[in-house]
Amino acid sequence: MLAASQTTFRRSYAFILAATLLFVAAADFFFYGHPIGWTAAALSGVMFCLLAARDSTFLQTLPGRVLALALVGLIASMVEEPTWLNVTYTILCTSALALINAEGFDNDFLRWLGRFFTWLLIGWTRLFVDNGIVTRWLVRRGFSPRLARGIAAWILPALLSTVFIGLFAWANPIISDWIANLGTTIGNLIDRLPDLINPLRLIFWIAFATIAWMLLRGRVHRWTLPHPRTPVDQRSESADLFLAPAPAPAHPSGIPLGLAIRCLILFNLIFAVENVLDVVYLYGHSSTTMTSLDYRTYVRRGAYPLVAAALLAGAFVLMTFRPRSESERSRPARALVYLWIGQTIFLTFSAAARLYRYIDMSELTRLRVASIIWFALVAAGLFYIIWRIVAGRSNRWLINVNAVTALLVLYPCCFINFDRLIADFNVRHCEEAGGGGSPLDIDYFRSLGSASLASLESVRPKIPLLWRQQQADQIARDFRGELAKDLSDWRSWTWRRQRAFNEAVQVERLARAAAHRAPPRQLAQLAPNHP
Residue 256 lies in a domain: yes
CA–CA gap between residue 146 and residue 148 (Å, rounded): 5
Residue of higher predicted confidence among 90 and 8: 90
Residue 108 confidence (pLDDT): 66
Name every residue whose Cβ is closer than 8 Å to that of residue 43 and which is 6 or more positions away in sequence: 23, 26, 27, 30, 31
Residue 95 lies in a domain: yes
Q: Are residue 321 and residue 407 in the same domain, yes or no?
A: yes
User: How many domains does the chain contain in total?
Assistant: 3
Residue 522 confidence (pLDDT): 46
Domain end among 368, 384, 415? 415
Domain end among 365, 383, 415? 415
Q: Are residue 287 and residue 387 in the same domain, yes or no?
A: yes
CA distances from 187 to 163, 184, 190, 224 (A): 22, 5, 5, 46
Q: Are residue 330 and residue 444 in the same domain, yes or no?
A: no
Q: Are residue 269 and residue 350 in the same domain, yes or no?
A: yes
Q: Are residue 474 and residue 517 in the same domain, yes or no?
A: yes
DSSP secondary structure letter of residue 123: G
Q: Are residue 385 and residue 520 in the same domain, yes or no?
A: no
What mean pLDDT comes out for the span 324-348?
Answer: 82
CA distances from 212 to 21, 32, 48, 71, 195 (A): 9, 16, 10, 16, 23
Each residue's pLDDT tens digit, 54-109: 887 888 888 888 888 988 888 888 887 887 878 888 888 888 888 888 777 776 67
Q: Are residue 241 and residue 296 in the same domain, yes or no?
A: yes
Q: Are residue 275 and residue 321 in the same domain, yes or no?
A: yes
Residue 53 lies in a domain: yes
CA–CA gap between residue 47 and residue 140 (Å, rounded): 33
Q: Are residue 203 and residue 351 in the same domain, yes or no?
A: yes
Full domain range(s) for residue 310: 145-216+235-415
Residue 145 confidence (pLDDT): 64
Q: Are residue 164 and residue 247 in the same domain, yes or no?
A: yes
Residue 474 confidence (pLDDT): 92
Q: Are residue 190 and residue 324 in the same domain, yes or no?
A: yes
Residue 370 lies in a domain: yes
CA–CA gap between residue 336 and residue 269 (Å, rounded): 11
Residue 229 confidence (pLDDT): 43
Residue 115 lies in a domain: no
CA–CA gap between residue 73 and residue 517 (Å, rounded): 107
Residue of higher predicted confidence among 240 and 318: 318
Contact indicator for 373, 413 with CB cutoff of 8 Å = yes
Q: Of 131-140, 169-178, 339-348, 378-387, which range is least confident?
A: 131-140
**One-letter amino acid for residue 58 of the chain:** F
Each residue's pLDDT tens digit, 117-152: 888 887 777 777 777 776 666 666 665 666 666 766
Q: Are residue 44 and residue 99 in the same domain, yes or no?
A: yes
Residue 229 lies in a domain: no
Each residue's pLDDT tens digit, 402-446: 888 988 888 888 888 888 999 999 998 888 887 777 888 889 999
CA–CA gap between residue 234 and residue 375 (Å, rounded): 45
Each residue's pLDDT tens digit, 450-503: 888 988 888 888 888 888 888 989 999 999 998 888 888 777 788 888 888 888
- Max distance between CA atoms of the chain, in angstroms, equals 130
pLDDT at residue 1 tops 50: no
What mean pLDDT comes out for the span 185-205?
Answer: 70
Residue 236 confidence (pLDDT): 40
The pTM for the full model equals: 0.54
What mean pLDDT comes out for the span 292-304?
Answer: 61
Residue 116 lies in a domain: no
Each residue's pLDDT tens digit, 23-34: 988 988 888 877
Residue 239 confidence (pLDDT): 38
What mean pLDDT comes out for the span 186-206?
Answer: 71
Residue 478 confidence (pLDDT): 92
What mean pLDDT comes out for the span 194-198?
Answer: 66
Torsion angles phi and psi, residue 486, rounded to 5? -65, -40
Percent of the chain with pLDDT over 70: 76
Half-sphere exposure of 355 (CA within 13 A, CB side): 24
Burial of 486 per CB tally in 10 Å (0-12, 13-18, 19+):
middle
pLDDT at residue 246 tops 70: no
Residue 167 confidence (pLDDT): 79
Torsion angles phi and psi, residue 138, rounded to 5? -65, -40
Helices 13-30 and 39-54, interaxial angle, to 10°? 180
Measured from the Cβ of residue 236, the count of other Cβ atoms closer than 10 Å reads 12
Mean pLDDT score of the chain: 76
Residue 367 lies in a domain: yes
Cα angle value 502/507/511 (rounded, 5°): 145
Cα angle value 23/27/33 (rounded, 5°): 160
pLDDT at residue 516 tops 60: yes
CA–CA gap between residue 103 and residue 97 (Å, rounded): 10
With residues binned 3-state (H G I as helix, E B as strand, rest as coil), the percentages for the chain, rounded to 5, are: 80, 0, 20
